[in-house]
């Protein structure tokens, strides 16, 4: 399965984004803009994009800087780039948003994000909510502000000790490794991603997946987390905005779905009421790569159709 179009989009950050497009079959009803997760790439969402296209949605998905086939002068694989890197990531998302508006006019748009991409997607909505019909935030390993700041201090110490922005040695010990150990009878270090052995095999065989992020990239991810916890930043988002939250009951990266409920609680406390939260009991981290992924795709499409009218 592949996207209809793979092209390059130059952005004001000097990035050359690999941009994938799948056009709606028949009359389009809306657009879905996908933000992929950490240590993967947008090409992995081709099946989801095709499913949505068959149901009337244009789909746009790009490789974030430091990921996939995107090129940026300051962002090799595993790094977002020199500061302010978070702003560059968000500006790249905005550039895709502008391309969508140029190509598809005023069709209602839904921002979709998985894991790290859910953070990126939410922050992008915080910066530009006009014309957004809804935000789907899937499998986000949301941490409270205190934990995020503590992680940044650890990363700052590690970067000082190592003297350069190299792959972190400490963060995998606090994230990927314990998540792997939490899966019973795991065959590989990445079984925490899915219960489907074929999906894990494809991930392991993909040279653009599974690499170790640089210290700076980890720092920036926690910066995204802190931005989400900021009440002032959230003030720009209309409180009636529909938000879909999805997680897996067997996902160790979200504390088995508890992090998704924490995010829901944070959003409700901030005045958001149009929320739909679903925890799929037997899903791990990648809901779109589970054995029963079509259930998740179907549920998303039903929600998305209601949002775009």
Look at residue 285 and tell me whether its pLDDT is greater than 80: yes
CA atoms of 109 and 298, how far apart (whole Å): 18
Domain 5-308: which CATH number of 3.20.20.370, 2.70.150.10, 3.40.50.1820, 3.40.50.720:
3.40.50.1820
Percent of the chain with pLDDT over 90: 84
Number of separate helices (H) and strands (E) present in the chain: 11, 8
Give the tens place of pLDDT for each residue, 182-221.
Answer: 999 999 999 999 999 999 999 999 999 999 999 999 999 9
Query: In the structure, what pLDDT confidence band is assigned to residue 145 with cuts at 50, 70 and 90?
Result: confident
Whether residue 165 has pLDDT greater than 90: no
pLDDT at 121 over 80: yes
Q: What's the DSSP call for residue 74?
A: T
pLDDT of the residue at 94: 97
pLDDT at position 105: 83
Q: Residue 94: which of 127, 63, 118, 71 has the closest Cα?
A: 127
pLDDT at 3 over 80: yes
16-35: average pLDDT: 97
* Assigned token pair, 102: 């140029």
Q: Alpha-carbon distance 142 to 279, whole Å? A: 15
Q: Where in 132-242 does DSSP place strands (E)?
A: 132-138
Q: What pLDDT was estimated at residue 309?
A: 86
**Cβ atoms < 10 Å from Cβ of 103:** 13
Helices (H), 17-170: 46-53, 85-104, 116-127, 145-162
Highest mean pLDDT of the ranges 55-69, 74-88, 158-172: 55-69
- Of 12, 284, 307, nearest to 296 by C-alpha is 284
Query: Pairing relation of β-strands 16-22 and 57-62?
Result: antiparallel
pLDDT for residue 98: 96
Segments making up each domain of the chain, as ranges: 5-308
pLDDT bin (cut points 50, 70, 90) of residue 9 is: very high
Q: What is the pLDDT of the chain when averaged over all its residues?
A: 95
**Banded model confidence at residue 28, pLDDT cuts 50, 70, 90:** very high
Band of the pLDDT at 83, cuts 50, 70, 90? confident
Burial label for 207, CB within 10 Å (0-12, 13-18, 19+), is: exposed
Q: What is the pTM of this model?
A: 0.96
Check whether 66 has a pLDDT greater than 80.
Answer: yes
Upstream peptide bond of 84 is cis (omega within 30 degrees of 0): yes
* pLDDT for 200: 98
The pLDDT value recorded for residue 232 is 78
Continuous segment of H or E residues that includes residue 276: strand 275-280
pLDDT over 70, % of the chain:
100
């Amino acid at each position: 399965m592949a996207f209809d179009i793979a092209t390059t989009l130059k952005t004001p950050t000097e990035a050359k984004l690999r941009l994938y497009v799948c056009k709606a079959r028949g009359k389009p009803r809306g657009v879905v803009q996908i933000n992929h997760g950490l240590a993967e790439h947008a090409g992995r969402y081709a099946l989801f994009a095709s499913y949505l296209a068959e149901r009337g949605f244009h789909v746009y998905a790009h490789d974030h800087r430091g990921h996939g086939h995107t090129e940026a002068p300051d962002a090799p694989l595993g790094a977002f780039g020199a500061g302010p890197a978070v702003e560059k990531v968000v500006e790249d998302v905005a550039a895709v948003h502008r391309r969508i508006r140029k190509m598809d006019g005023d069709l209602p748009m839904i921002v979709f994000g998985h894991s790290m991409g859910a953070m990126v997607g939410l922050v992008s909505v915080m910066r530009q909510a006009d014309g957004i019909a809804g935000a789907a935030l899937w499998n986000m390993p949301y941490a409270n502000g205190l934990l995020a700041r503590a992680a940044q201090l650890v990363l700052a110490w590690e970067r000082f000790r190592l003297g350069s922005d190299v792959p972190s040695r400490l963060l995998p010990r606090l994230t990927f490794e314990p998540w792997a150990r939490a899966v019973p009878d795991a065959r590989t270090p990445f079984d925490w991603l899915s219960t489907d052995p074929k999906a894990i095999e494809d991930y392991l065989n993909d040279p653009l997946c599974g690499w170790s992020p640089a210290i700076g990239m980890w720092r920036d991810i926690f910066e995204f987390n802190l931005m989400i916890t900021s009440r002032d930043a959230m003030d720009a988002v209309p409180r009636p905005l529909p938000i879909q939250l999805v997680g897996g009951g067997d996902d160790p990266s979200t504390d088995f779905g508890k992090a998704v409920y924490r995010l829901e609680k944070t959003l409700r406390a901030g005045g958001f009421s149009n929320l739909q939260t679903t925890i799929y009991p037997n899903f791990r981290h990648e809901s779109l790569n589970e054995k029963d992924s079509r259930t998740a795709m179907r549920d998303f499409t039903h929600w998305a159709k209601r949002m775009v009218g």
